[in-house]
Structure 1
Amino acid sequence: MKDINYSEVNGYLFPNLKGREEVKVNSYFAQMKLKYLKTNEQGHLFSLMAKNELSTYLEQVEKEANEMYERLVEEFKVKWNVTEKLKERDQMEWVQQMNNIDNVVKEIILKELICN
């Protein structure tokens, strides 16, 4: 068990808490997870902040989300037959299909990782 150090102020003992960590949220999925925590899970957010683990948690979520994104994009490209041949033949169709895949994959990640 961790030892807690206290400071006395005017006869009262206060625990010496760590300073607040600097939270760096530069990525889409980490921003979405932080937004979800702020609006839906304030207790979990406060717990992570109190332990100075919020940045680590958001980095892990971002890593998992990016891995899932890459895997799902490749799966949908195969499933929907979005190939380099399509890109050569009809570039606008290829762009539309890739945008559709991007939107579907982001929706899946938001549902399964971010809002969970």
Structure 2
Amino acid sequence: MKHNFEISYTQQGDYLLPDLRLPEQPKVEIGIWGKRHLRYIKQHHKIRYTDLLTSCKLTAYLADIDEQAEEMFFRLVKQLAEKEGATEQFKAENQMLWVQRMNNIRNRATEIVNAELIYV
């Protein structure tokens, strides 16, 4: 099989450097969890980030992490709310205390997701 590639070059001082471009990756909306993980791997796992980027797998990887984290977060919130009695009946009886409990539960669920999926 024969390929015909035209390579363009850019002059950098005394050197001609090839103009390299990555193929277009699919446009996928990445949520907050995927964006957090992206920042983390860019700063702390540069080799993993570069490998995913150059193999054109970064977008799919981040979308997968985002989906897993979202599912984990909502599952944890639901489980913790049931365990701690933050029910609709409790909400009707004492709305302010219910809001406090739910904020606490959401914060703990966020910390768990961050520790187990995002910052690893």
- SS of residue in 2 equivalent to 1:35: helix
Give the TM-score of the pair, scaled to structure 1: 0.81
User: CA RMSD for the aligned pairs?
Assistant: 2.8
Structure 1 stretches lacking a partner, 5+ long: none
Residue of structure 1 equivalent to 2:80: 76
Higher Cα Rg, which structure: 2
Distance change (3 Å), C-alpha of 1:23 and 1:35: farther
1:99 is aligned, of 103, 106, 114, to 103
Give the TM-score of the pair, scaled to structure 2: 0.78
Residue of structure 1 equivalent to 2:64: 60
Percent identity of paired positions between Structure 1 and Structure 2: 30
Whole-Å Cα distance in 2 between the matches of residues 58 and 67 of structure 1?
14
Distance change (3 Å), C-alpha of 1:8 and 1:74: closer
What is the aligned residue count? Answer: 112
